[in-house]
Amino acid sequence: MICGLVTPSNPLPSASTYFSNPRRSRKNLQRRTGGIILVQCSASGNDSPLAIETNGSGTFVTGGAYDFLRATTSLTQKPLVCAKKVTLIRHGLSSWNEESRVQGSSDLSVLTETGVIQAQRCKAALSNRYFDQCFSSPISRAKTTAEVIWGGREEPLLFLDSLKEAHLFYLEGMKNADARERYPREFTTWREDPCNFCVNGIYPIRKLWGTAMEAWNEILFSPGKDFLVITHKSMLRALICTALGLGPERFRGIDINNGGISVFNFNTRGEAMLQCLNMTAHMYSDHFYIY
């Protein structure tokens, strides 16, 4: 995606989506480009210029496939009133993350001091972004993360049950080592073949795919065009995979760090384009993102 109008004579490094020193970098770019700043969110090299098209709403997209009929699958199955952008964030480090416990849908795992700092870093990294609405899981570790990130914004936080984490039954709260020893078959299936992890006839990860579709519909058909979503790792895997048309067998093909930021664009047909996945530069220095 091109987030700007012209390319500087001294191009930015490919795939760069942030500035480590915003004031100085902005000033340098403005000096070179006459005040127009470009952020190129692509790994394309300088020898292969990006093809730029619009997606019907005036928004620039890269690569023709995004705007080709049936090149991607509509997530919503019916048109949206406008193109949408959705920023996804995983909650900060929780107490059970630190203790290496299975979390699932339990509300007993809370945000740690480190998790609060991570949430504050997410807030700073997105401080230049406007969001119409913020949606969060109501489970404590995500809820607290959302409250930190969204603090100071005018619109109220919206909590969706469809953003809750997968329910993992009797494994929840157990340390991974203990769960492996006490329930070796179930734990091994959960870790190595989660799509087929089953408890009393219920397949939590397969069920999560349906819940993710519910969440996408609640979010995408809400008023506005720029949304922030704070939720959990397994739910994020399901949201990302469903948007890309991938089934639950690809569950462990996606990984998201605590505080990791991902971004999707949706055209008016409800087709998804993954713009950024698991951005974490803001966790290690004072970055902010432009997209």
Residues labelled as active-site residues: 91, 165
287 is in an annotated binding site: no
90 is in an annotated binding site: yes
93 is in an annotated binding site: yes
Within 8 A by CB and 6+ apart from 288, the residues are 18, 19, 22, 124, 125, 126, 127, 128, 282
Tokens of 124: 């700073």
CA gap 108, 129 in Å, rounded: 32
User: Among candidates 231, 232, 262, 238, which has minimal Cα distance to 252?
Assistant: 238
In this structure, are residues 72 and 245 in contact, taking their beta carbons and an 8 Å threshold?
yes
Within 8 A by CB and 6+ apart from 64, the residues are 51, 53
190 is in an annotated binding site: no
121 is in an annotated binding site: no
92 is in an annotated binding site: yes
CA gap 161, 12 in Å, rounded: 41
137 is in an annotated binding site: no
Binding residues: 90-97, 141
Q: Which residue numbers belong to the known binding site for substrate?
A: 90-97, 141
